[in-house]
Amino acid sequence: MAKEKVILAYSGGLDTTCIIPWLKENYNYDVVCVCIDVGQEEELSGLEERAKYCGADKLYILDVIDEFCDEYVAPCIQAHAVYENKYLIGTSMARPLIAKKLVEIARKENAVAICHGATGKGNDQIRFELGIKALAPDLKIIAAWRDPLWKLDSRESEIAYAEAHGIHLAFGSKDNSYSRDRNIWHISHEGLELEDPSLEPNYDHLLVLTTPPEKAPDRKTYITIDFEKGIPVAVNGEKMKLSDIIRTCNKLGGENGIGIVDIVENRVVGMKSRGVYETPGGTILYEAHQQLEELCLDRETTAMKIEVASKYASTIYEGKWFSPLREALQAFIESTQRYVTGTVKLALYKGNIIKAGTTSPYSMYNESIASFKTGDQYDHHDAAGFITLFGLSTKVRAMKLQEVAKKQGIKDWQNLL
């Protein structure tokens, strides 16, 4: 009788390498490893040999970079989705797509369970599992680090377990290894000196995508980005797909020290966590998009979109991509992007993004109205009536306080404010 199958979200790291023999030993499953390529680049080298060597029955490597950019990153650019004012949700936006693909392979392989190696302290366990529950509520979920059968509580114990099962692989030194997550949008870093918020990050040791700002060129680098309905479509006049736009902006932003964020964020599970994020291309695209919106959105829509963007970012951060709320928020965001079309020119200089000119056929900026000179479309005298009505409640309140103060014999009625 054939064994039941489990789908393992596989990265090739120490945790998921140990999980392969652990699943076979404790659950007697055939293990089908699935690696979702969202732009990890060299991290994917040698995965197939490693998975098979560790006992996997099969390995899928799925290239979903363009799907990730077009269906997950693009809406976040339109939204200007930023968590706690700093984090451009690079890990958060990738997890729902990974969960979706894990479910697709589980259906293809007739698997009964999906296993992941996220720890019980992090956000990823929530993101993976909410995604799986939303798309395949019938599948069993195995979270190795929360499983009572999982006895490996340290890097040393994992290495010893692997070697005891005939797995002899190099995983690097604990002394020089940060915990990292990488995709085409960003790379995150946790661990080592970052675990002490009083310490400055060792950027010479840590950075992967970005040059430290003080070591960036002593000259400005100019870049233009074209948008259609809030989505980037060209860089420096060259039309290209979004994934290539991100790659181009990553290169230019990285060279100029753009997009380094050091943040102590509030995880969903209740603890604070310190990390450094490198998002050079994403930071450029967010800034360019926001500058275009300054021209194209009216005051009330801008104010509401800021609130919606914050909620949109936190919803994704919490793993609720496949939720009615996220869909409803996105519907509002997409409606605001109808006329967010135009070209933004930026200067990149030592970690700074400097405005260098923005144009749009739908710009609401009207020089004849905004100019200090009197124009045909704006009469300064009109402001008097507007201020009278706009400030009517303020005036009525002051009059009432004056009246009360007079009755009570209070000389200085402002004391009632």
Alpha-carbon gap, residue 182 to 41, rounded angstroms: 8
Residues in the chain, overall count: 417
* Residue 147 known to be catalytic: no
- Provide the pairing of β-strand 140-143 with 179-182: unpaired
DSSP characters for 84-96?
TTTB--HHHHHHH
Alpha-carbon gap, residue 125 to 319, rounded angstroms: 9
Q: Which of 57, 70, 177, 179 is catalytic?
A: 179
SS3 99: helix
Q: Which of 30, 92, 95, 360 is catalytic?
A: 95
**What are the tokens at 155?**
């890097």
Residue 95 backbone phi and psi in degrees, to 5: -60, -40
* Residue 95 known to be catalytic: yes
SS (H, E, C) 302-367: HHHHHHHHHHHHHHHHCCCCCCHHHHHHHHHHHHHCCCCCEEEEEEEECCEEEEEEEECCCCCCCH
Residue 357 backbone phi and psi in degrees, to 5: 125, 135
All residues at 6 or more sequence positions from 408 whose CB lies less than 8 Å from its CB, including other chains: none
Q: Which of 124, 181, 188, 243 is catalytic?
A: 124
Only one residue has tokens 């915990």, namely 179
Which helix (H) or strand (E) segment is 140 a member of? strand 140-143
* Residue 146 known to be catalytic: no
**What are the tokens at 304?**
């509401």
* Residue 30 known to be catalytic: no
Which residues are tagged catalytic? 15, 95, 124, 179
